[in-house]
Amino acid sequence: MNPKLNELFSRRSVRVYEPREVSEEMLRDLLEAGMAAPSAAGKDPWRFVTVRDRATLQRLTEGLPNGKMLAQAGAGIVVCGDLTAAHGQEMSYLLQDCSAAIENILLAASILGLGACWLGVHPRPERQAHVRQVLGIPPEIVPISALAIGWPAERPPARTRYSARYVHAEKW
C-alpha cells in the first residue's frame, strides 16, 4: 500500500462504538465533505437527515436488519436523494451522486478519528418505507442509505482490497 494513501486505506466499516456523542460541528464537517462530492451536471440531488436522538436511532434499527450498531452510534446520517433535482430526473444519476457523497462522508469520518458504517436502504422497499416513516421523509425524496457514525471502540487495520484479476488493460 502506498503510504501517501494511508488515510484512504484506514477507512474501514466500524460497527462498535464508544458511548460518546458526535458534536453538531463534526456532523457539519461530515456534511460539508459529502456535499463536496461531484454530481452529474452539478445538480447536487442529495439530501441528508442527521439523527442524534437515541430513541430515533433505535427505531431506525428496527427496519434495518444489518444496522443494529446504529443504536450505539453517536449519530446517524440518512442520505436521501431528490429525484426531481437529479440530472435528467434519472435514478441512476441520483444513486451515483449520493454514493459519491456517502464515500466522502465515510472518508471524512475516518480522517476526523470517527468510525462509520454504510447501511443500504435503497432499493429495498420495506427498508425505504421504514426509514421514510421514522423520519417523516416526504414521498418525492428517496432514502438511499443510513450511516452509523461514532467514536470507534474498535480500529480495524488499514488494508487494500486490490486484486489484479479485476483489472483489464486496454481491453477486456
* Average pLDDT taken over every residue of the chain: 97
**The predicted structure's pLDDT at residue 167:** 98
**What is the per-residue pLDDT for 1?**
85
CATH class, domain 9-155, is alpha beta
Mean pLDDT of 74-97: 98
Beta strands in the chain (DSSP E): 46-51, 75-82, 115-120, 141-150
pLDDT band at 164 (very low <50, low <70, confident <90, very high): very high
Every domain of the chain and the residues it spans: 9-155
User: What does the block give as the cell for 36?
Assistant: 463536496
Q: Give yes or no for residue 147 having a pLDDT over 90.
A: yes
- Is the predicted pLDDT of residue 88 greater than 90, yes or no? yes
Cis ω on the peptide bond leading into residue 45 (within 30° of 0)? Answer: no
